[in-house]
Structure 1
Amino acid sequence: MKLNERSLAFYATCDSPADSAGFLYKRGERHAAYHRRWFVLKGNMLFYFEERESREPVGVIVLEGCTVELCDSRGEFAFAIRFGGAKSRTYVLAAESHAAMEAWVKALSRASFDYMRLVVRELEQQLARVQWGSNAERAPEREPERALQREPERALEQELEQALEQEPEREPEEAPEREPERRAPRENGCAVWNIVPGTDSLPRGAVPRWASGCEAEAGPRQPPVPPRCQASLGVPAGNAVEVSAFSRLHERYGTEVAWLRRQWLERRQGQQP
């Protein structure tokens, strides 16, 4: 905010209430003589006029970074406004009575923004203490209310406990026995088709290989019938030829193995001394 002489003059003479107002004696800067002036305190600004009816102030003192203290002077009831700094000016004022001096010293000491900040902080702390004390006092009063609120819940819990105690214990139901699953018999680790009693001879649409001489185009393929079950199932003689050829091949292989083993033993005996 930019201030100028016109805005300061308007603020000094406007109808806003003043924190303090009255006549004081102000000592001159160059001369030690005192001049009677009309002072008006608004916020942190101290305006002084030549007369009470003057329309514009003669000067203004901004009360920031200063101290207000009593001083020894020729005039009675004198006090000074001192600012920090080597070249800062010190304003010496004097009141007409001791009561007026005390009132002005208090008002000027409380006019700075720093003082107002301290006051606000102190008031906030007091408010916090008052609120904490009121909450502590209300805590015992709220306990009966909470107890009344919990009574319906406790009554419901008691009813549930009584109902559970009166309810008879139920015996565990026995599980129904399951029928054992029927599994197809196995031959040489493989399941054999169509030898389980009560089943069809072949699935629908399936044609046996031994009946047609080749694999059927439709239906699932039938695994080969083991030799042990061929007689019981009535396998045709065509498969018997294959079995006899396999047995002859097995006998020939066994004969060759026996002949080779015999030669190996004779050779080993001939090498020994």
Structure 2
Amino acid sequence: MPAAPVKTSVPSASSVLVPETLLKKRKSDVKAREEKQAKAVELRKARKQKRSVVFKRAEQYVKEYKALEREQIRLRRVAKSKGDFYVPGEPRVAFVVRLRGISNIAPKPKKILQLLRLLQINNGVFVKLNNATMQMLRLVEPYVAYGEPNLKTIRELLYKRGYAKINRQRIPITDNNLIEEHLGKYGIISVEDIVHEIATAGPNFKAATTFLWPFKLSSPTGGFRRRKFINFIQGGDAGDHESNINRLVRRMN
């Protein structure tokens, strides 16, 4: 009789022994993946809430700007109806642009330019106007152009030329998280918050402007007037431009 065939048993997949270290690694990988997914969900929720807060603040600022504009129009109309002239209040914020280099500058104006952080030609900064800063601007008037910026100028400068000063480095402002990280303790979490703080000369004006790197502007389109070292009243570009500074900044932005 022929011999019966011998059956060889092949171990099933369920019976294969897996090293304990591999099992632990799999469990830890699964746990890490679940934690990562949970953090991602929380981060999305936090960003959504933050966007909602930023949008609500922006809407509130727009209402505030429009209310202020309507109030100025009303006061102007009331004055006109009484045969008077409406004189707006003194400007609280100035934008200062450096026009001259370091040659032939006396030590005192040179020091003031350093205090204003105007270290290069065509650099610009926002300054809160008070008695001290007005005296400083008068001393450096032959070397700078300054005036009262409007809301549009402030917003365009920040969105187009705005850079942050972090650890003495010039960092582009590409995300509101960068602003919240360094100015969140002042309640400033977005670019619009900085715009509002500067436009209204708010209590955290210094913190907001110190956070910003001095604006690096280009030479104005079409060039300066006859001579940029002559006072603005005499046909040049130096000195107080009042509201005309907005026109000059747009040519340099």
> Would you call these one fold, judging by a TM-score over 0.5?
no
TM-score normalised to structure 1 length: 0.18
In terms of fraction of residues, the more helix-rich structure is 2
Higher relative contact order (CA 8 A, sep 6+): 2
* Structure possessing the higher radius of gyration over alpha carbons: 1
TM-score normalised to structure 2 length: 0.20
In terms of fraction of residues, the more strand-rich structure is 1
